[in-house]
Structure 1
Amino acid sequence: MNLEGRKIVVNKSSKELSELLKTPENYKDFMPDGLQKFESREDGFKFGLQGMPEIALKIAEVTEEKAVLTSASSSLDFTLTATLKPLSENQTEVQMLFEGKFNPFIKMMVEKPLQNFINTLTDKIEAYK
């Protein structure tokens, strides 16, 4: 299952954004409203949203071109990647890409909430100062 967020332009360099995305605590600023729990760890974070199970993510890789988050749970196989494409010295195009391997039943249950989550992350990153 692949999902994409819309492409946005952020008024920060890809270097600034990659530095921001290396720190687990910073992801709290991008979480949707309804966040009920957020715990940062050395290599990632865990969060809980109203009406959804908790999700634990590991920060697998962060470069000036992308930030890759993977599931910290062995029962869920997915990655969430933010692509970072420099447009100028102070502007970067960002797009969220989700890739998951789910059985058809799970896919049916999670596809819409995940797309909403990606859309919210995109909105929060775009509005970030």
Structure 2
Amino acid sequence: MATFQGKTTINRTITDIYAFLSDFNNHKQLMPDNIQNWTSTYNEAGFGIQNMVQLSLQIVERIENSAVKIVATGNPPFPVKLLWDLRSADAGTEVTFTIDAELNMMMKMMASTPLQKLANHEVERLAAVLS
């Protein structure tokens, strides 16, 4: 299992951030430019990564004002779990985005940098969108 994390603190209430993250329709705003053909509902999202793969994601658990858990569904190139974790902080809300991916050694060498960049990008975009 390989783990990649991005963290930020946003000067918004935990309720506001949870409400945004708990609806997959909002996640398109967090995605990098190489995402194509985005489709979403409240619980599911599908998209392509330019010249690479199509992915389907599903929110499998919402813990009010605390966490949003997401898994890849269908036939992903490797098993992956995503977690948005929220904690109250003095300056607003501390947000951690974690990507847990089951990668073999070859996939780890190829995918580690892009997955870490994705984790960082998502929290940076969340901070920008909600600021």
Q: Which TM bucket (shorter chain)? A: 0.7 to 0.9
Matched, 1:18 2:18: yes
TM-score after normalising by structure 2 = 0.85
Equivalent residue number for residue 85 of structure 1: 87
Give the AA of the match of 1:81: L
Please tell me the residue identity of whatever aligns with 2:110: M
Which runs of no fewer than 5 residues in structure 1 stay unpaired?
A: none
**Correspondence for 1:59:** 59
Total equivalences in the alignment:
127
- Report the alpha carbon displacement of residue 74 of structure 1 after superposing the two structures with TM: 4.7
CA RMSD of aligned residues (A): 1.8
Provide the C-alpha distance between the structure 2 equivalents of 1:28 and 1:50, rounded to a whole number of angstroms.
Answer: 15
Q: What is the aligned-residue identity percentage?
A: 25
Q: Is residue 120 of structure 2 the alignment partner of residue 128 of structure 1?
A: no
Shift of 1:16: 1.5
Separation in 2, partners of 1:87, 1:81: 19
The separation in 1 between residues aligned to 2:127 and 2:57, in whole angstroms, is 21
- Paired AA for residue 66 in structure 1: A
- Which residue of structure 1 aligns with residue 36 of structure 2? 36
